[in-house]
Amino acid sequence: MDFRSRSHPAICVVGAALIDLISYVPRLPGPGETLHGLDFRIGYGGKGANQAVMAARLGARVAMVTRVGRDTFGDGMLENFRNAGVDVTHVAVDPEAPSGVAPIAVEPGGENVIVIVTGANARMTTADVDAARGAIAAADVLVCQLEVPIEVTLAALRAAAESSTATVLNAAPALALPFGAFADVDVVCANESEAATLLGTEIEPGRELEAVRALRDLGPRAAVITLGGRGCALSAEGCTAIEPGKKVDVVDTTGAGDAFVGALACALAGGAPLAAAAARANAVAALSVTRRGTQTSFPTADEVASAPFSEVDESAG
C-alpha cells in the first residue's frame, strides 16, 4: 500500500447518495406491527455521501461521484454536498429516476433498522466512472461501497489502480462478491455481519483476529472488521491486532460505520499507518454515536481532538 502523506488529503468517493427518513420509536416493531413514533427527522445519507461528508468534515478535499433524481430531494442533496465542501462536479442529475431514500427506525438504545430504495443510484454506469477518471487520478484515496451496481464499483477500483490511487472498499451492504473482486483493493472494511457474508461463516466471539486474517486472505492488501463499541480488528503486512473502542454514552448508532470509514480513509490519505488510522476512526465513530442523526452526528477534527476518551476494557467482558 502506498498512502501518500498529505496535510490536506484528497479523496474521491464513488457511491450512493440518499435521503434519510428517520423515525425514533419506543422499540423496533415486529412483523405486521404499527407503532406510534416519538420523533421524526429528515437527513442526508447514503453510504457514499456519508463517507464523503465525514472526510470533508475532517479536513480532506473530497469529490463525490453519484446520481440524484431531478426532484426536491436531489436539489437538497446537491446543496448539502456544497455546504459540506464536497465537489459535485461528478454528481449527475438523472432525468428519469427519483432520488434514493432510506427510511430508518431508531429505538432509545440507539439500535436501528434501515430500508434502502436506491432510485437514481441504481442507474449509475461505468460511464459515470469514465467521466470521473480525472478526479480518481487526482485523489490520494478512492472510497467505494456496495450500494451502487457492482460493475460501477469494480470499474472505479480498476481506474484507481491504473492511476496508482490507493483504494478503500467498504463491503456494505453485505453481498457475495465475484471472484477477483479484491484485486484492486488496498483496504477492505466490513462490520461483523458483512465480514461473515464475505467469509461464508459466522465470526465466533474471541476469533476476530482469525476472521480478519481470513478476510485479508481473500485478496485485499489489508482488512478491517469493525466491532461496534469494542473497536475493530485489523490485518496488514506485519500487523494483526485489535484496536480497542472508546467508552461513550450511546444515543444513536445510525451512520457510525460510515463515520468510521470516512475517518479511516481521511487518515490513510494523510499518510497514517493502518493501526493509527483505525484508532482515529474508532474515536470519530464513537463521537458520532453520542448524537442523533447521520451526517448531523459527524464530528469535526477539533471535536475529536478535544474529546476526553477512555478505551473499552475488553477484560471486563
C-beta separation of 289 from 251 below 8 A: yes
Record the cell numbers describing residue 85, joined without a space.
465542501
Record the cell numbers describing residue 207, joined without a space.
476469533
Say whether 87 is catalytic.
no
Q: What is the dihedral sign for C-alpha 292, 37, 193, 180?
A: negative
CB atoms within 10 A of CB 282: 26
Q: Report DSSP state, residue 299.
A: P
C-beta separation of 133 from 159 below 8 A: yes
User: How far apart are the C-alpha atoms of 57 and 68, rounded to whole Å?
Assistant: 22
CB atoms within 10 A of CB 117: 15
End-to-end CA distance of the chain: 35
Question: What is the C-alpha R_g of the chain?
Answer: 18
User: How far apart are the C-alpha atoms of 16 and 14, rounded to whole Å?
Assistant: 7
Helices (H), the chain: 47-57, 72-84, 126-131, 133-138, 150-162, 192-199, 208-217, 256-269, 274-288, 301-306
Record the cell numbers describing residue 35, joined without a space.
407503532
Q: How many helices (H) and strands (E) does the chain have?
A: 10, 13
Catalytic option among 20, 258, 302, 313: 258
Positions marked catalytic: 258
